[in-house]
């Protein structure tokens, strides 16, 4: 996490739990817990677990000889307590440390996701009936509401967050080759000591838990990226339907207020698919302990958690201050001069009559309203034509969908 770019793509509360010092703390937590449960079981003599000062940078340099930082850490511990690390292998320490690091980093990340969800609920409720153009393939399609768009964000985010919460973060303890030949089965006790799940078997080469975490984080990133992408499109000068509360300035153009939070969410989430792919690629691991595959996970998981944490924080700030211009949304709906209402018109006039009127409006460039008023085959009076062409009259179940989503969350309307 560099000083130059790190603050742009991270989240201080999450980053603290992903630092080198945090990894060392997690490794020490495993060693301390293993010593405690082993002593209680009478496997090692009772005694004090050493309190040692560890320099992460020095540990990393010392790790070059063995290929992982556990070996020099254990040497340091055993210089004070010879029974430290008894019966464990390096992967036990690092896999459990990864579970602990992930659990600790996910706490502030999930808090930010909950705040994003609350903002989505608030916006959905406030703009339940704020009419805007629904767009497909970058073109205006039919009317919808901004509330329904926000409800869509909310449902996707709730699903993704639930999946993330369901990821099992488990202790790893299998010894040299997954048999626990030295200590016997202390997995349950060790899991309880560390407040992690207890697996049925050691999972040295079963990387489904890592894959689950990666995919869940990738899914959250995809949802946050969708929200940011919508805001970026809607905040374009030519559209102007939403704006960030505190836009960023330009180095060259003082008139610009850039959607900075959306840009940073997008930047974070665009980097996550490759990290997910890297972790999935490590799943086929050789025999009982792999060479290189589990090593490739440490920094990848760390970076994935960091980027999704950054995206969640920026999305929280983005939606908390989002400004919505309902009048501009109405104005933009009028750009097609009624053509956006063609589907609704067909339900009232019949498809053949509506298609003929729409074709005439498109050919002549006249407003659809004028074409309908001049068409002797249309029996509607002015008031009826205006009602038919009112986007608010063609929203279908949009309002009911918003109500359903909010009711499913207990009618939440965050303030």
114 neighbors 210 (Cβ within 8 angstroms): no
Report the b/e string of 362-397 with b at 16+ CB within 10 A: eeeeebbbebbeebeebeeeeeebeebbebeebbee
Distance CA 238, CA 140 (A): 14
The DSSP 8-state label assigned to residue 51 in this structure reads -
Tokens coding 224: 């946050």
Tokens coding 371: 């074409």
Phi (first) and psi of residue 378, to 5 degrees? -100, 120
323 neighbors 240 (Cβ within 8 angstroms): no
Tell me the catalytic residues. Answer: 250, 289
Distance CA 296, CA 290 (A): 11
Distance CA 236, CA 88 (A): 57
Q: Helix, strand, or coil here: 140? A: strand
């Amino acid at each position: 996490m560099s000083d130059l770019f790190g603050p742009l793509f991270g989240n201080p509360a999450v980053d603290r739990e992903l630092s080198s010092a945090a990894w060392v703390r997690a490794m020490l937590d495993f060693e301390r817990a293993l010593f405690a449960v082993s002593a209680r079981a009478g496997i090692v003599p009772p005694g004090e677990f050493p309190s040692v000062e560890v320099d992460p940078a020095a540990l990393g340099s010392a790790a070059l000889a063995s290929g992982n930082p556990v070996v020099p850490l254990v040497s340091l511990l055993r210089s004070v307590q010879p029974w430290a690390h008894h019966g464990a292998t390096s992967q036990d320490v690092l896999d459990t440390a990864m579970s602990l690091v992930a659990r600790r980093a996910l706490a502030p990340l999930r808090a930010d996701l909950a705040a994003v969800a609350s903002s989505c609920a608030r916006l959905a409720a406030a703009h339940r009936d704020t009419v805007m153009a629904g767009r497909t393939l970058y073109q205006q399609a039919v009317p919808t509401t901004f509330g329904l768009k926000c409800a869509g964000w909310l449902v996707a985010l709730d699903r993704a967050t639930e999946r993330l919460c369901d990821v099992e973060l488990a202790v790893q303890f299998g010894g040299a080759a997954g048999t626990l030949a030295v200590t016997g089965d202390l997995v349950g006790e060790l899991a309880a000591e560390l407040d992690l799940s207890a697996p049925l078997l050691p999972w040295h080469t079963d990387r489904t838990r890592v894959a689950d975490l990666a995919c869940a984080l990738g899914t959250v990133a995809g949802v946050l990226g969708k929200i940011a992408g919508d805001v970026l499109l809607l905040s374009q000068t030519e559209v102007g339907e939403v704006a960030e509360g505190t836009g960023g300035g330009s180095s060259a153009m003082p008139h610009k207020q850039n959607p900075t939070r959306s840009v940073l969410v997008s930047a974070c989430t665009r980097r996550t698919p490759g990290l997910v792919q890297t972790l999935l690629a490590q799943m086929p691991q050789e025999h009982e302990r792999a060479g290189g595959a589990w090593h490739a996970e440490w920094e990848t998981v760390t970076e994935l958690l960091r980027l999704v944490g950054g995206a969640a924080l920026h999305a929280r700030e983005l939606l908390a201050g989002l400004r919505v211009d309902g009048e501009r949304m109405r104005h933009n709906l009028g750009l097609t001069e009624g053509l956006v209402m063609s589907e609704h018109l067909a339900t009232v006039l019949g498809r053949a009559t509506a298609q003929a009127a729409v074709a005439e409006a498109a050919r002549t460039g006249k407003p659809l309203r004028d074409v309908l008023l001049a068409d002797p085959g249309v029996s509607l009076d002015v008031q009826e034509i205006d009602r038919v062409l009112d986007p608010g009259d063609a929203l279908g179940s949009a309002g009911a969908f918003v109500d359903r989503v909010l009711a499913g969350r207990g009618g939440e309307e965050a303030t």
